[in-house]
A and B are shown apart, each in its own frame.
Chain A
């Protein structure tokens, strides 16, 4: 950098105006070249994501007879089945996010406290499921939780229960399966943020006489909250639009938002209604991410496309 900028400074000497034009032209050519490198990727994203979503939004503004109307949105408040879908979706999202915090926080905390080598080995247990197909993991839970599955067989053999518990093809199955899939999305950003907490702060607290529990409560926990918030937002947002696990584990009884969208468009070919559902889902997602950004001044990191 220094070599280049030094020579540029020279060029801008007494006859700078002349060279200045040449340099500006050069800079413009450079910018055009760089934009040409970006354009194929940008074009694809624009054509495959932005255009269709804009199109669907446009469609959602018209009723079945082609009249401009809010009918597609009004039905969300009028039809009980839509209200039920939203209630189910938010219930699942809250429970799964809560479960992820409950299980994920201790794990992330343990990972952050382990020596580096042990931590990187334990991290495999988080990263491997993260990169394993959602379909494979949902199938595994179906097998484990079904009526004659592993959990029921073992519990009955142990005499804990007399009847098989209904664990799959219902609400419980959806929550268990989704918790498993969402957990890494909470643990990874939380762990990353815990690693940045300065151990000296904790040591100072303990030197001043705080017990380990008080050090955790008064120093570590508050410092870990931004990372936790980031994980919570990611998990909650992913839950709202999640499709695969509720579709396979819900037994047709647990209808979540994304399933409703699929049914409305594929089964009933009602594009306006399906599009309206999508628009509201996108708006809620962006609002939550925006709120988080505004509150903490940080981007929710690690929203990877493993869904």
Chain B
């Protein structure tokens, strides 16, 4: 590793590469930066750079009952999804990590199916199923659908935590008389709790940002923030959405940094 980047090519010879890479990085980050700046504009025209600054779009966001209700629905669903997905995902990861079960590859394929199957098909399928069992436009329905989407992320995150943990410690605890559950909760869980928290944060943001499935299965009093945004964008470009977008970008940054921080601790 200390030898990395030791090729006899100077940074000068690579200037063109840095310029090209820098441009692509600019392309990637510019839209978010522009939206954040525009959200503080005083104009309805979304000009850049703004001539006058104001917080009117934030007032319009927080002052609107509809936007506030949608935000509350999204937060509720995301919190519950994070809890349920972390519980189910950790249990599943523990079982997969033990590697004594047959059919492990089939189990993995099933658990990660939601990553491969086109999300539009999942949306239509879920709507179709929910229509028959009365779960459309309910919080429970949203939490279940989002949990399925978040589950693979939690399983993969917790699994990587378990892989770097020595399961013999739990064995020792059990051979010394600890029960199965107390061995897990007192010995194993404290050592994988950081990856569990990371998994929970990923699950939260997956649920909070989810659009396509929510478009089909949420509505009325359980309209999620993303669904309301999508519908608003179909009609016109409302600058209030710039303020909401800024809040979502900040949320992403906070959760991502937290996940990074927890991922590093251990």
By a beta-carbon cutoff of 8 Å, the part of chain A in contact with chain B is 1, 3-4, 27, 30-31, 33-35, 37-38, 40-42, 44-53, 55-56, 103-104, 106-107, 109-111, 113-116, 122, 125-129, 131-144, 146, 148-150, 153, 180, 183-184, 199, 202-203, 206, 212, 240-241, 243-244, 247-248, 258, 261-262, 265-266, 271, 274-275, 278, 281-282, 285-286, 289, 303-307
Q: Is the CB of A30 within 8 A of B100?
A: yes
Report yes or no: B209 in contact with A115, Cβ–Cβ below 8 A: no
Residue of A103, A111, A139 with highest tally of chain B CB at under 10 A: A139
B interface residues, how many (CB within 8 angstroms) = 94
In the complex, what residue of chain B is closest to A30 when comparing beta carbons?
B100
Q: Contacts A34-B101, A115-B5, A244-B212 hold; do A143 and B46 have CB atoms under 8 A apart?
A: yes
The answer, yes or no, to whether B31 is at the interface (CB within 8 Å) is yes
| Chain A residues whose C-beta falls within 8 Å of the C-beta of B107 in the assembled complex | 38, 42
How many whole Å from B205's CB to the nearest CB in chain A? 7
Quick one: CB contact mask for B118-142 with A, threshold 8 Å, 1 for yes?
A: 1111101111110000000000000
A143 touches B24 (CB 8 A): no
Looking at the complex, which of B54-62, B65-73, B145-153 is the stretch in contact with chain A?
Answer: B145-153
Q: Which partner residue on chain A sits nearest B213 by CB separation?
A: A48
In whole angstroms, how far apart are the Cα atoms of A19 and B174 in the complex? Answer: 20
Interface centre among A135, A137, A240 (most CB of B within 10 A): A135
CB–CB A281/B118 < 8 A: yes
Given known A-B contacts A49-B122, A104-B24, A128-B252, A143 and B35 have beta carbons under 8 A apart = yes
Are the CB atoms of B125 and A53 closer together than 8 Å?
Answer: yes
B261 vs chain A, min Cβ distance (A): 14
CB pair B48–A150 under 8 Å, yes or no, is yes
Q: Is there contact, CB below 8 Å, between A49 and B113?
A: yes
Which residues of A sit under 8 angstroms from B119, Cβ to Cβ?
241, 243, 305, 307
Does B89 make an interface contact (CB < 8 A)?
A: yes
| Complex partner residue of B32 from A4, A128, A286, CB under 8 angstroms | A128
| A56 touching B124, Cβ below 8 Å | yes
In the complex, what distance in Å separates the CA atom of A37 from the CA atom of B205?
25
CB of B144 within 8 Å of the partner chain: yes
User: What's the Cα separation between A281 and B88 when bound, in Å?
Assistant: 29
Which of A42, A53, A206, A304 is the one whose CB lies under 8 Å from B110?
A42
Say whether A45 contacts B148, CB under 8 Å: yes
A198 and B29 CA atoms in complex are apart in Å by 31
Question: What are the nearest 9 A-B pairs in CB distance?
Answer: A241-B118, A52-B125, A110-B21, A140-B31, A258-B120, A34-B95, A37-B91, A125-B25, A133-B209
Residues of chain A within 8 A of B13, CB atoms compared = 212
| Of B150, B208, B256, the contact of A127 (CB 8 Å cutoff) | B256
Are B88 and A48 in contact (CB-based, < 8 A)? no
- Which residues of the partner chain B approach A248 to less than 8 Å between Cβ atoms? 230, 233-234
Contact present for A106 and B17 (CB under 8 Å): yes
B29–A125 touching, CB < 8 Å: yes
| A140 close to B120 (CB less than 8 A) | no
Q: Is the CB of B92 within 8 A of A278?
A: no
Q: Does B78 contact A (CB under 8 A)?
A: no
A86 → B minimal CB distance (Å): 14
Q: Report Cα–Cα, A148/B226, bound state, in Å.
A: 25
Do B28 and A184 touch (CB < 8 A)?
yes
Interface pair A48/B211, CB less than 8 Å apart: no
Complexed CA–CA distance, A107 and B25 (Å): 8
A131-B252 contact in complex given A41-B91, A203-B7, C-beta closer than 8 Å:
yes
A27-B100, A51-B129 known; 16 other A-B pairs, CB under 8 Å?
A34-B94, A38-B91, A44-B151, A48-B126, A52-B125, A110-B18, A113-B14, A132-B32, A132-B248, A133-B211, A148-B45, A203-B7, A248-B233, A258-B118, A278-B121, A281-B120
CB < 8 Å neighbour of B124 from A37, A126, A138, A261: A261
> Chain A residues near B118 (CB, 8 Å)?
240-241, 258, 278, 281-282, 285
For B150, the chain A residues whose CB sits under 8 A away are 305
| Contact yes or no, B32 A49, CB < 8 A | no
Q: Which of B8, B113, B180, B245 contacts A136 (CB 8 A)?
A: B245
Nearest residue, chain B, Cβ from A134: B211
**Nearest chain B CB to A76's CB is how many angstroms away?**
16
| Contact residues, B68-91 vs A (CB, 8 A) | 88-89, 91
Q: How many Å from the CB of A194 to the closest CB on chain B?
A: 12
Please name the residue on chain A nearest to B212 by beta carbon.
A243
Cβ contacts under 8 Å, B208 to chain A? 133
Q: How far is the CB of A136 from chain B (nearest CB, A)?
A: 4
Q: Check B35 against A206 for contact (C-beta < 8 Å).
A: no
Residues in B with CB closer than 8 Å to A149 are 46
Mask: chain B, 169-207; 1 = CB below 8 Å from A; 0 = not: 001100100001000000000000000000000000110
Closest Cβ–Cβ distance, residue A239 to chain B (whole Å): 11
Query: Which B residues are in CB contact (< 8 Å) with A126?
Result: 25, 28
- Residue of B21, B47, B89, B234 near A41 (CB, 8 A) is B89
Q: Which residue of the partner chain B has the closest CB to A149?
A: B46
- CB of B62, distance to nearest CB on chain A (Å): 18
Are A304 and B153 in contact (CB-based, < 8 A)?
Answer: yes
